[in-house]
Structure 1
């Protein structure tokens, strides 16, 4: 990093400490998306900027202008203000507190890429403030949060896109997979297996001083108040530049307090496609069976007994009984992707390939014209933001709507509850509650820390 960049960041941190905001202000003017002409670009803001926050922002410059960014880490916020300025020519205004973004009348939509435990609070408050929402997956930390989001979408009429980008992107492989199934190319589905990778535990992670520029209390937000923890070893590759072992930064996915481990990370992608293919997007399973699993720490009554190590599952095999008694297997073993098995054949699909005899047979017996578009519900958008902006203009819900996402995610949430309690769960998909298990039903919601309740 150059001396100029270091000096700029230092000044930014000082300004953040003094005022809680930085950047170049853009003039605000009252507006509503419904009044924007097809040729006018919507105005966006991104809340939560590390890794995926920048990814979804960078994919959206073609479709929208960014007037504001928000993050509780001043270092991340400063870096992203500069990157956005470089891409669009004007600097967005930066905020430590996302609520300042929601107060602005010129912003049409927010993109949310915070850790999972913040999603619902920000999304609900954004909709109540008149903003359309694009929120990263998994949408919620609990099943009851999903019900609340559905209620507020219906109440406000805001457009809400969930960031399950496999529905739009990845060379349409997943859409082709669903089209193959709908065209009967593997006969009746007998079994679906979602490989979503395992995880690793961690060493004991000590409590240390909070890094400069990070508002740790605000990062925790609705989650319980705990010490910041990290070891010196740094993460490499995607999500790099931060501690490998920590209860913050990229590693928050390994803690049930903030996320749901691999089950809610990759599971939110592949279980989504599997549920869509099974035609179960408005119902889900009736039973969840934890066939096998490994937790990195001891549990008692569904809660980890230590607070200084990762606590989400490292290995697992879960069987979800889907409509028609079709087994949906979620496993940490094998290739990452989805294996569809039917009475006439089988094929495998992931982000890099779609393979199997039914796929090979497409050379001589292609899918009917428009089959993929029929799955998508019309011409396939260029990317997920494109679909979101089209929905904003039309005032319709986009391809990854909250209802189908929540139904799918209920399978993942229930799998985690089954693992935490170590027993099979019977699920009533109509009442959306666990049958005859009061303790298990207590995990359908979580109490927010005082001062961080949803502002309704």
Structure 2
């Protein structure tokens, strides 16, 4: 099979207008969804889609590993779905209205560009790009089409994150000069690679445009930690948090990046398992720390302002006022009542019908991924770079 960019990808990347979806939806119409990449993240996305309560069915499933296709088929919404190894068979199905893409990162832009050219609306998991250069290709493809593309930055639809951004932008914290972000996970205890029946896996298709290499169970299961396929913590975990920061602070690109990274535990990975990073934006700075062998405290952000500090995670948020003598209790607190992926998927489905811009348009996804890529560039340049590179 030829994995070079085909004519369809070339045309849309070059800026020609894609064929738009012309189906008119009624209030009770059932969306027909194509699944591309049927791993664990896709299973979560489909559960969130089901939790929206909106009518949809899975019309086609593509994955390079047979058991994953079969697992999606067990869902009632996918009982009649066609299954494929090659994602292009999903795009060739004229009954498919939209696709959800949850493949490894190195496939994201190519598949999304092809889907837009085929007239499909797209939900694209984060990070939306695998390299900085891909951002221009993806942005041009979306804006030269008439299709909807929702980036998988679900905090954009998560109620308490939206409320937090309103507070920050309304000046409730005073002047913010530092944002702390962190995320700790434990890949040693809870992320052990699952066995794979290689006879049911199309490894060459999985590699796609990545350098040819023999099958590796570690790379197949933990692809995020190898440069050929992902970008480590900075384009995975940090991408979510820096998106919230850039959204709240109305900034989209750092001017300087510092990053220290080490492989203390997972020495066979390409990407560091322990990180301290700092990004400077005009007027404020962002710090990040994380490691992949300790999960205590999980992940979150702290916006530190002259009047108050806002601490937020996926569980909720709290606000602490400055100069409140002897009282360190929050003056305001909000807990999350719904996983943000459900309203984010609901927003995507609504935009398919209304043709309005989604909560996480392509520019936000490109900017969040770019910040992670810039931090990784600093790691590769002795720990520091000034952006843009001269």
1:285 aligns with 2:254: yes
Aligned to 1:156: 145
Deviations 1:348-394 (A, max 9, x none): 1101131242593348xx9xxxxxxxxxxxxx996111101111122
- The answer to whether the 8 A contact 1:161-1:401 is kept is yes
- Among 171, 180, 188, the alignment partner of 1:184 is 171
* Conservation of the 8 A alpha-carbon contact between 2:127 and 2:368: no
User: Hey, what does 2:64 align to over in structure 1?
Assistant: 72
TM superposition shift of 1:127: 0.4
Alpha-carbon contact 1:196-1:270 (below 8 Å) kept: no
- Equivalent residue, structure 2, for 1:247: 219
Alignment partner, residue 390 of structure 1 = 350
Distance 1:31 1:418, change over 3 A: closer
- State which of 160, 167, 171 in structure 2 corresponds to 1:173: 160
The 2-side partners of 1:75 and 1:399 are apart by 33
User: Any runs of at least 4 consecutive aligned residues in structure 1 with deviations exceeding 3 A, and if so which?
Assistant: 30-34, 198-201, 295-298
**Cα offset, 1:261, TM superposition:** 0.9
The residue correspondences of 1:428-439 to structure 2 (distance < 5 A) are 428=388, 434=389, 436=390
**1:107 paired residue number:** 96
Count of residues in correspondence between the two structures: 347
Equivalent residue runs for 1:372-451 within 5 Å: 383-428=343-388, 434=389, 436=390
**Is the 1:296–1:311 contact (alpha carbons within 8 Å) kept by the matching residues of 2?**
no
Q: 1:330 to 1:128 in 2, by over 3 A?
A: same
Counterparts of 2:43 and 2:341, CA distance in 1: 20
Q: For the structure 1 residues 270 and 165, does the alpha-carbon distance in structure 2 shift closer, same or farther, using more than 3 Å as the test?
A: same
TM-score of the two chains, using structure 1 as the length reference: 0.71
Q: Equivalent residue for 2:9?
A: none
- Tell me, yes or no, if the aligned pair for 2:32 and 2:59 is still in contact at 8 Å: yes
Aligned partner (choices 360, 365, 370) of residue 330 of structure 2:
360
**1:90–1:335 CA distance, 2 compared to 1 (3 A):** closer
Query: Aligned partners of 2:38 and 2:346: how far apart in 1?
Result: 20
Residues 31 and 105 in structure 1, CA contact (< 8 A), matched pair in contact too: no
Match of residue 228, structure 2, among 236, 257, 264: 257
Q: Which of structures 1 and 2 has the bigger CA Rg?
A: 1
Unaligned runs of 5+ in 1: 1-29, 202-207, 231-245, 299-307, 367-379, 429-433, 437-456
CA pair 332-382 structure 1, distance change in 2 beyond 3 A: closer
Q: What is the deviation of 1:119?
A: 0.7
Please give the residue correspondences for 1:318-357 in structure 2 after superposition, counting only pairs within 5 Å.
Answer: 318-324=277-283, 326-332=284-290, 336-357=299-320
CA deviation vs aligned residue, 1:2-60 (integer Å, no higher than 9, x gap): xxxxxxxxxxxxxxxxxxxxxxxxxxxx9935522233122111101110111112222
Pair 1:229-2:216 in alignment: yes
What are structure 2's unaligned runs of at least 5 residues?
1-18, 189-194, 292-296, 322-328, 335-339
Shift of 1:194: 1.1
Q: Secondary structure at the match of 1:247?
A: helix
| CA root-mean-square deviation | 2.7
Instruction: Describe the shift of the 1:214–1:89 C-alpha distance in structure 2 as closer, same or farther (beyond 3 A).
Output: closer
Give the distance between the partners of 2:347 and 2:316, measured in 1 at CA: 23
CA gap of 1:209–1:66, structure 2 versus 1, over 3 A, is closer
Measure how far apart 1:296 and its partner are: 5.6
